[in-house]
Amino acid sequence: MKLYNRTIVVTGGTSGIGLAFALKLLNRGNKVIVIGRNQATLNQVTSKHKGLIGLQGDVSNADSVREMAAVIRDRFPEVSILFNSAGIMRAFELTDDNLHLERTTAEVGTNLNGTIWMTEALLPQLARQNEAMIVTVSSGLSYVTSPLHPVYSATKAGVHMFTDALRVQLKKSGKSIHVMELVPPLVAETNLIPDSGGPIPSMSLDTLVKHGIQGMERNKKRVVPGLSKVLRFGGKYFPDALANAMARG
């Protein structure tokens, strides 16, 4: 897929992986709309990075998703790429008596529901284009759980399965919409967890973006760079040993 002269929507586009991809795509001659919850943060990002277009909305709220889809349909009918990058990651103990039910599922709303809802809401518009693409961002932890991040791991496994199902359905429908899953390893310079310099090596954002852009251009089904390849292999052959190792930090 040619990645220039496109109009692209990036969720979670004010920081981390989403912002890095938004800037790279903008610099390649595309119109890029970044979605974020906080209007003040959107204003800061679009002021600093001239050319980015900000759209305030919450992907974990169905009404907000409907409103954003209507705005995109009316103001940007030519949108042909959706990059689902909004995500949160938290470490907590499920045995903590002070946990509230709603807090344990916050990641489900953003990581999983947000990906599904934004995809479903924009599918009719994407289907009207001559060629379109949907990118989902899962994680190496979709293959092997991190006991320290129990709900994050579950949501990313869900994103992985949803992406596969979406790809098959769109292929059967005959619509010219490419579907690519980006499977990052631990990535430095994100706002999920800090790069601790520990025994698990991290990948730079620049390297991840390079892999991702190449995958999009080549219409790859899946891009699994760096340590994610190891987790994919280990999740198939020795998942318990890997999960226990990660539980020890």
Give Cβ neighbours of residue 200 (< 8 Å, ≥ 6 apart). 186, 227
Task: State how far the Cα of 28 lies from the Cα of 4, in Å rounded to an integer.
Answer: 6
Does 70 fall in a domain?
A: yes
Task: State how far the Cα of 204 lies from the Cα of 51, in Å rounded to an integer.
Answer: 24
Tokens of 113: 């529901």
Domain containing 71 equals: 7-247
Does 218 fall in a domain?
A: yes
Question: How does DSSP assign 28-48, residue by residue?
Answer: TT-EEEEEES-HHHHHHHHHH
Task: State how far the Cα of 124 lies from the Cα of 69, in Å rounded to an integer.
Answer: 10
Does 210 fall in a domain?
A: yes
Higher-confidence residue of 143 and 49: namely: 49
Residues in the chain: 249
What's the pLDDT tens digit per position in 107-148? Answer: 999 999 999 999 999 999 999 999 999 999 999 888 888 888
197 pLDDT above the threshold of 50: no
Q: Which residues of 167-194 are buried (b: 16+ CB within 10 A; e: fewer)?
A: beebeeeeeebbbbbbbbbbbbbbebee
Does 186 fall in a domain?
A: yes
Does 225 fall in a domain?
A: yes
**What is the pTM (predicted TM-score) of this model?**
0.91
Q: How many domains does the chain have?
A: 1
Q: Quote the pLDDT of residue 245.
A: 73
CATH at residue 230: 3.40.50.720
What's the pLDDT tens digit per position in 148-195? Answer: 888 999 999 999 999 999 999 999 988 899 999 999 988 865 655 544
Q: Quote the pLDDT of residue 145.
A: 84
Does 2 fall in a domain?
A: no
Order of strands, sheet of 222-223, starting from the edge strand that comes earlier in the sequence? 53-56, 31-36, 7-11, 81-84, 132-137, 177-182, 222-223
Does 1 fall in a domain?
A: no
Q: How far is CA 143 from each of CA 15, 21, 139, 209, 219, rounded to the nearest angstrom?
A: 25, 24, 8, 21, 22
Q: What is the rounded average pLDDT for all residues in the chain? A: 91
Task: State how far the Cα of 183 lies from the Cα of 222, in Å rounded to an integer.
Answer: 7
Q: Classify strands 132-137 and 31-36 as parallel, antiparallel or unpaired.
A: unpaired
Task: State how far the Cα of 43 lies from the Cα of 40, in Å rounded to an integer.
Answer: 5
What's the pLDDT tens digit per position in 66-82? Answer: 999 999 999 999 999 99
Does 168 fall in a domain?
A: yes
